[in-house]
């Protein structure tokens, strides 16, 4: 994916509001059972039984003390089209997910978030919804959905739906009605505007300069009713008019439909853009042209408008009526932690419980100082709310490639996993991240499925690369499907990068994740201890302590963010009279069995987790 993306909400490398704000911002041994742990002395504090056995009793999804479940659960994003095909059509489906729940349980996943599975013309692969209260036949039926939720529940796995409230499909009945005439009762459910004028040859001029995140004007002219409608994304995704209370009511009804069906929460798509400026003011130009050939604009009047917080408060109040701590997650690409805090409702804690922090996971640079600053901000500047960290999703090149240097990718990926799973945050993973899956960028335009990759080729190759099928084994189609062809090609490395192979390799990425997840669940300091940065001026090694709870042992974490060996020493008098730290998890053979807190020699890009004695 190019360095000059035009999509504003999820490609932090693109120009626009976030690119600008980024400049100003300061900017993962195996639990292959106890056998490996014991053999390598890496898991002194970890459970001495395989993860799967323990989950049956109290997995990550289970309630823990007074904490809501979502504080400790590991969340896992599934792109259903690419996870598991159960009927041999080359597309993943709900029954496929159900078949693979045992794997997710073995990883100790507490909640799965499914990207949209509602009926859709699939222009944006489900983010263009034509019926909010059903399942697209390509993915299955409502009965399949109910069965998946029920089976997940028996494995202590909760289900989170993706809810797209910013826009519908242009095939949704609401929009079809709205577009039918200027006087239709649903006309005002979408954002319709007269042309600003007409060109000399009679062509209508869009109301203002707003640009679609997917290229071109954000206004589409409808010759029938002689007005434009606004679409932040594809023209087949008209934006709803959130200033109309009927829209909020209808959308909240759909949220209730799924809550009543037993889902444990939602991830709200593009939620900061629900509102646009009422005066339709032009967005300020930042100068320059993006990959789609459009002027680069600040999104002052189309994104993160204050009105959205009233909706979030009402949404939270409604969801609070449901039992079981249903969780509201936001796709919140925001320019600063201060803006992020508003999405929690700040000290009132009355909006989303888990707006995503995109500052940490999408720094796209393994820079100890930058990561320290951002993690610290997220820990200390959000009014005691719970951070949600994420390094990967279906809209960005995989972290394997964004952070990897082409030589040390696995060690670097282990560093990221360590940060994700030892920070005081709720971790969100993306399928295949735990395997070290890489981005399979299409090499021929005719192979591209994501429309922005077709219109933007060759500068913008779209998001197919990060959406390729899950790699289960080294057999046909990596075990994803029995079809002759799959909707996207299988990653070329599937013979070696797959679940089956990695389950058998003690030092694999997969076992690194399993080990960290198991330790995170069982260790009180990692569960609830405060997080304090150490060695704060070190530009190469990021280290921190998670303070012990109720006098229990603290945990210290150090990751070498460079390709050079680094030596660190810790003075931990602030957290007790600590003189030694038993190594719990490390990918540095030289540190296995070590109990030093002084002169810890970290090989390039290595990770070390110790329990302070
Ligand atoms: C963000 C989603 O993650 C992305 O995949 C989608 O294209 C846009 N929102 C529009 O819904």
pLDDT tens readout for residues 25-37: 222 222 222 222 3
The pLDDT, as a whole number, for residue 383 is 97
Average pLDDT for residues 562-590, to the nearest whole number?
89
Q: Is 28 a domain residue?
A: yes
The 10s digit of each residue's pLDDT in 55-111 is: 223 445 445 578 999 999 999 999 999 999 999 999 999 999 999 999 999 999 999
Ligand 1 centroid, distance to 338 Cα (angstroms): 24
**Same structural domain for residues 290 and 424?**
yes
Helices 337-344 and 368-380 sit at what angle, rounded to 10 degrees? 30
Residue where one domain finishes, among candidates 184, 204, 230? 230
pLDDT band at 421; cut points 50, 70, 90: very high
**Same structural domain for residues 433 and 333?**
yes
pLDDT band at 125; cut points 50, 70, 90: very high
Q: Which of 498, 492, 448 has its CA nearest to residue 471? A: 498
What does the mean pLDDT of the chain come to? 90
Query: Catalytic pick from 128, 276, 331, 377?
Result: 331
Does the structure show a pLDDT above 90 at 198?
yes
Ligand 1 centroid, distance to 269 Cα (angstroms): 6
269: annotated active-site residue? yes
Lowest-confidence segment of 12-16, 47-51, 212-216 by average pLDDT: 47-51
Q: What is the CATH number of the domain that holds 188?
A: 3.90.400.10
**Same structural domain for residues 441 and 567?**
no
Does the structure show a pLDDT above 50 at 2?
no
The 10s digit of each residue's pLDDT in 330-345 is: 999 999 999 999 999 9
The pLDDT, as a whole number, for residue 369 is 98
**Same structural domain for residues 511 and 534?**
no
Q: What is the CATH number of the domain that holds 80?
A: 3.20.20.80
Q: Is 78 a domain residue?
A: yes
Its domain, for residue 541, covers 529-612
Give the residue, by CA position, lying nearest to ligand 1 atom 6.
127
Does the structure show a pLDDT above 60 at 372?
yes
Q: Is 236 a domain residue?
A: no
> Longest Cα pair distance anywhere in the chain, in angstroms?
81
**Same structural domain for residues 265 and 382?**
yes
Q: Is 355 a domain residue?
A: yes
The pLDDT, as a whole number, for residue 467 is 98
Q: Is 164 in the pocket of ligand 1 (CB under 6 A)?
A: yes
Q: Is 108 in the pocket of ligand 1 (CB under 6 A)?
A: no
Lowest-confidence segment of 288-292, 465-469, 560-564, 600-604 by average pLDDT: 288-292
Residue 444: exposure state from Cβ atoms within 10 A (0-12, 13-18, ≥19): exposed
Q: Is 237 a domain residue?
A: no
Ligand 1 centroid, distance to 118 Cα (angstroms): 14
Residues of the chain with pLDDT > 70, as a percent, come to 89
Residue where one domain finishes, among candidates 230, 262, 278? 230
Q: Is 233 in the pocket of ligand 1 (CB under 6 A)?
A: yes
Among 1, 121, 164, 269, name the best residue to mutate to test ligand 1's pocket (greatest count of ligand atoms within 8 A of Cβ): 269
Q: If you count DSSP H runs as helices and E runs as strands, how many of each does the chain have, helices first?
A: 18, 22
Q: Which secondary-structure segment (H or E) carries 444?
A: none
Q: Which of 583, 18, 1 has its CA nearest to residue 9? A: 18
**Same structural domain for residues 118 and 73?**
yes
Give the residue, by CA position, lying nearest to ligand 1 atom 3.
395
Q: Three-class SS of residue 111?
A: strand
Lowest-confidence segment of 41-45, 324-328, 411-415, 494-498 by average pLDDT: 41-45
Q: Which secondary-structure segment (H or E) carries 112?
A: strand 111-114
Q: Is 124 in the pocket of ligand 1 (CB under 6 A)?
A: yes
Ligand 1 centroid, distance to 277 Cα (angstroms): 21
**Same structural domain for residues 323 and 406?**
yes
Task: Answer yes or no: are the C-beta atoms of 5 and 450 closer than 8 Å.
Answer: no
Q: Atom of ligand 1 at shortest distance to CA of 463?
A: 5
Task: Answer yes or no: are the C-beta atoms of 486 and 84 closer than 8 Å.
Answer: no
* pTM for the whole structure: 0.91
Average pLDDT for residues 381-403, to the nearest whole number?
98
Query: Catalytic pick from 77, 269, 276, 379?
Result: 269
**Same structural domain for residues 368 and 467?**
yes
Q: Is 395 in the pocket of ligand 1 (CB under 6 A)?
A: yes
Give the residue, by CA position, lying nearest to ligand 1 atom 11.
127
Average pLDDT for residues 349-358, to the nearest whole number?
98
Residue-by-residue DSSP string for 174-195 = HHHHHHH-TT-TTGGGB-EE--
Average pLDDT for residues 2-26, to the nearest whole number?
32
**Same structural domain for residues 348 and 461?**
yes
The pLDDT, as a whole number, for residue 580 is 86
The pLDDT, as a whole number, for residue 64 is 56
**Same structural domain for residues 283 and 337?**
yes
The residue count of the chain comes to 613
Q: Which of 183, 165, 167, 275 has its CA nearest to residue 224? A: 183
Q: Which of 213, 402, 207, 206 has its CA nearest to residue 292? A: 213
Q: Atom of ligand 1 at shortest distance to CA of 164?
A: 11
Q: Is 241 a domain residue?
A: no
The pLDDT, as a whole number, for residue 328 is 98
Ligand 1 centroid, distance to 270 Cα (angstroms): 7
Does the structure show a pLDDT above 60 at 1?
no
Give me 66's structure tokens: 């007074």
> Rounded distance, CA 133 to CA 139, Å?
14
Q: What is the CATH number of the domain that holds 548?
A: 2.60.40.1180
**Same structural domain for residues 265 and 368?**
yes
Does the structure show a pLDDT above 70 at 4?
no
Average pLDDT for residues 234-242, to the nearest whole number?
98
Q: Is 523 a domain residue?
A: no
Average pLDDT for residues 520-527, to the nearest whole number?
96
Q: Is 268 in the pocket of ligand 1 (CB under 6 A)?
A: no
**Same structural domain for residues 533 and 504?**
no
Q: Is 524 a domain residue?
A: no
The pLDDT, as a whole number, for residue 44 is 31
Count of domains observed in the chain: 3
């Amino acid at each position: 994916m190019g360095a000059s993306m035009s999509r504003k909400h999820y490609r932090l490398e693109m120009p626009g509001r976030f690119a600008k704000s980024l400049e100003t911002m300061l900017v993962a041994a195996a639990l292959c059972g106890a056998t490996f742990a014991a053999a390598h002395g890496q898991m002194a504090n970890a459970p001495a039984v395989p993860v799967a056995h323990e989950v049956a009793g109290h997995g990550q999804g289970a309630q823990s003390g007074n904490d809501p479940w979502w504080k400790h659960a590991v969340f896992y994003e599934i792109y259903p089209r690419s996870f598991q095909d159960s009927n041999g059509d080359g597309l993943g489906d709900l029954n496929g997910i159900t078949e693979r729940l045992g794997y997710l349980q073995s990883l100790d996943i507490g909640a799965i978030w499914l990207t949209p599975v509602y009926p859709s013309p699939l222009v944006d692969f489900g983010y263009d919804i034509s019926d909010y209260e059903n399942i697209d036949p390509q993915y299955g039926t409502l009965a399949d959905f109910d069965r998946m939720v029920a089976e997940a529940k028996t494995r202590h796995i909760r289900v989170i739906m993706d809810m797209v409230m910013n826009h519908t499909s242009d095939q949704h009945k609401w929009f079809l009605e709205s577009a039918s005439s200027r006087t239709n009762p649903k006309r005002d459910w979408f954002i319709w505007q007269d042309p600003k004028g007409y060109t000399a040859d009679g062509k209508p001029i869009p109301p203002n300069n707003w640009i679609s995140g997917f290229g071109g004007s954000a206004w589409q002219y409808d010759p029938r009713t002689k007005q434009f409608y606004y679409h932040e994304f594809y023209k087949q995704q008209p934006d709803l008019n959130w200033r109309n209370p009927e829209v909020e009511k209808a959308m909240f009804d759909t949220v209730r439909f799924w809550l009543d069906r037993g889902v444990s929460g939602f991830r709200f798509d593009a939620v900061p853009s629900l509102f646009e400026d009422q005066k339709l003011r032009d967005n300020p130009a930042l100068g320059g042209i993006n990959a789609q050939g459009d002027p680069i604009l600040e999104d002052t009047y189309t994104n993160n408008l204050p009105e959205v917080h009233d909706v979030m408060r009402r949404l939270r109040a409604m969801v609070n009526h449901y039992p079981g701590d249903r969780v509201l997650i936001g796709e919140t690409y925001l320019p600063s932690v201060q803006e992020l805090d508003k999405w929690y409702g700040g000290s009132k804690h009355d909006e989303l419980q888990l707006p995503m922090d995109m500052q940490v996971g999408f720094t796209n640079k393994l820079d100890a100082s930058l990561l320290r600053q951002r993690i610290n901000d997220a820990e200390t500047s959000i009014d005691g709310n719970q951070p949600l960290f994420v390094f990967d999703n279906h809209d960005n090149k995989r972290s394997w490639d964004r952070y990897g240097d082409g030589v040390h990718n696995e060690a670097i990926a282990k560093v990221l996993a360590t940060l994700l799973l030892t920070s005081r945050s709720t971790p969100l993973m993306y399928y295949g991240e735990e395997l070290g899956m890489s981005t399979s960028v299409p090499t021929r335009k005719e192979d591209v499925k994501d429309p922005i990759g077709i219109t933007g080729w060759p500068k913008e190759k779209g998001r197919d690369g990060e959406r390729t099928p899950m790699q289960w084994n080294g057999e046909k189609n990596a075990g994803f499907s029995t079809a002759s062809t799959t909707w996207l090609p299988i990653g070329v490395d599937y013979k070696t990068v797959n679940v089956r192979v990695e389950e058998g390799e003690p030092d694999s990425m997969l076992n690194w994740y399993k080990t960290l997840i198991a330790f995170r669940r069982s260790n009180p300091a990692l569960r609830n201890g405060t997080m304090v940065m150490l060695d704060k001026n070190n530009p190469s090694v990021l280290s921190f302590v998670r303070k012990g709870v109720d006098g229990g042992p603290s945990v210290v974490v150090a990751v070498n963010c460079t390709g050079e060996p680094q030596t660190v020493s810790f003075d931990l008098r602030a957290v007790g009279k600590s003189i030694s730290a038993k190594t719990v998890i490390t990918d540095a053979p030289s540190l296995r069995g070590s109990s030093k807190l002084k002169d810890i020699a970290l090989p390039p890009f290595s990770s070390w987790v110790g329990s302070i004695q």
